[in-house]
Chains A and B, each alone.
Chain A
């Protein structure tokens, strides 16, 4: 259960709503524990308030003077920030190409050469069947080609 004593720091920091503030003021006047704690909080505040000498110098001129250099640095930082993406993209493209070739999604140079040779040998075979010397088996193949499987 939250008691009035638990609200002491909020009271000290001016964070209590007006109705609770009045109740708390009355409470602090009568509660010795809260009165002492409040004194301790105020003492700590006094100790903290001038923590270190803060220069009263206006820094706006220095900030404005530093802005162009900061803008240049930001621009070059932005330009160079993604430099690694270029070689990474090249490497990734090479890897993707190699994978496609290996898996047969793209014809490789050696594959197309072999296919061309095979087509050429098929064409010469067919031409020899049609116009030149033929082996026994080849005649059967020709018959199959012209009549179909229904023979």
Chain B
């Protein structure tokens, strides 16, 4: 199944390299959910995840020639998404947006939506989860985000530029930190 998907990706990629944007749109449709989910898990409170995902695909299109096929197309996309989200986090930590006017239109909509919906009262675990994810180092957070997208250790290692053993160890450590930060949401005997 995965091999068939990879073959379909390569075929669409060949078309996209020849300038066929419809073939690239096909690739976007195939991978958008994963990339969007990854960006939502990587960015604070998932704000601007859709914009970030779009930018990831645009960056991917611009550097399609650099895709050497050493890893799967989705792994390559996740690597771009990881670097892009790290850059966003870096730039937002340097220049914090004090006003909604400074956000992009979609991020503003999302932020306003978040203010409107009574999430913090109805689902406190979502806020706690977002805060706990925010406290994770970017490398650990990326592994959790990749795992949530169903990536196996090998693909995660390729996307994060690590060995499989390092992925295993860091994923364990990331889960430990998350469990510790979210211990109030676990039954007492599971929170340790």
Listed in ascending order, the chain A residues whose CB lies under 8 Å from chain B are 9-10, 13-15, 36, 39-41, 43-44, 47-49, 51-55, 57-64, 66-67, 70-71, 74
Contacts and interface: CB of A to CB of B under 8 A. Distances in A.
Contacts of B46: 51-54
Contacts of B33: 54
Interface string B163-192: 000001001100100110010011101111
B147 A13 contact: yes
B62 to A, nearest CB: 5
Contacts of B121: none
Contacts of B28: 59-60, 63-64
Contacts of A53: 46
Contact of B129 (A51, A60, A71, A74): A51
9 contacts: A9-B171, A14-B152, A47-B182, A51-B46, A52-B40, A59-B53, A59-B57, A64-B21, A66-B54
A52 B130 contact: yes
Contact of A70 (B32, B61, B133): B61
Interface residues of B, number: 46
Nearest to B28: A60
Interface of B: 21, 24-26, 28-29, 32-33, 36-37, 40-41, 45-46, 49-50, 53-54, 57-58, 61-62, 125-126, 129-130, 133, 144, 147-148, 152-153, 168, 171-172, 175, 178-179, 182, 185-187, 189-192
Nearest to B147: A13
Given A9-B172, A40-B179, A44-B179, A54 B36 contact: yes
B109 to A, nearest CB: 10
B190 A39 contact: yes
A49 B29 CA distance: 21
A142 B87 CA distance: 85
Which 9 pairs across A and B sit closest by C-beta, in order of nearness? A52-B46, A60-B28, A40-B190, A60-B25, A63-B57, A70-B58, A60-B29, A52-B40, A64-B25
B40 A36 contact: no
A64 B175 contact: no
Contacts of A14: 152
B178 to A, nearest CB: 6
B36 A44 contact: no
A46 to B, nearest CB: 10
Given A59-B32, A60-B25, A64-B25, A47 B171 contact: no
A63 B54 CA distance: 6
B156 to A, nearest CB: 10
A38 B24 CA distance: 41
Residue of A9, A43, A48, A71 ringed by the most chain B CB atoms within 10 A: A48
